[in-house]
Amino acid sequence: MEAIVTARLVELVFSPAAQVADWAKRIGLKVERQADGVVILENPGLSRTAIYDGLDPVTRAVCLGFAVAGPFWPQVLPDLLEAVNKEWRRRRAAQPF
Q: What is the pLDDT of residue 1?
A: 83
Contacts 24+ apart (CB under 8 A), 47-54: 47/71, 51/17, 51/20, 52/17, 53/16, 53/17
94 in a structural domain: no
Mean pLDDT confidence for 1-9: 94
Does pTM top 0.85 for this prediction?
yes
Q: What is the pLDDT of residue 96?
A: 82
Quote the DSSP letter at residue 71.
G
6 in a structural domain: yes
Q: What is the pLDDT of residue 97?
A: 73
Residue 51 backbone phi and psi in degrees, to 5: -135, 165
71 in a structural domain: yes
22 in a structural domain: yes
Q: What is the pLDDT of residue 37?
A: 96
Which amino acid does the sequence have at 4?
I
How confident is the model over 41-89, as pLDDT tens digits? 999 999 999 999 999 999 999 999 999 999 999 999 999 999 999 999 9
79 in a structural domain: yes
**Domain extent for 70:** 2-89
Quote the DSSP letter at residue 47.
E
Number of domains, the chain? 1
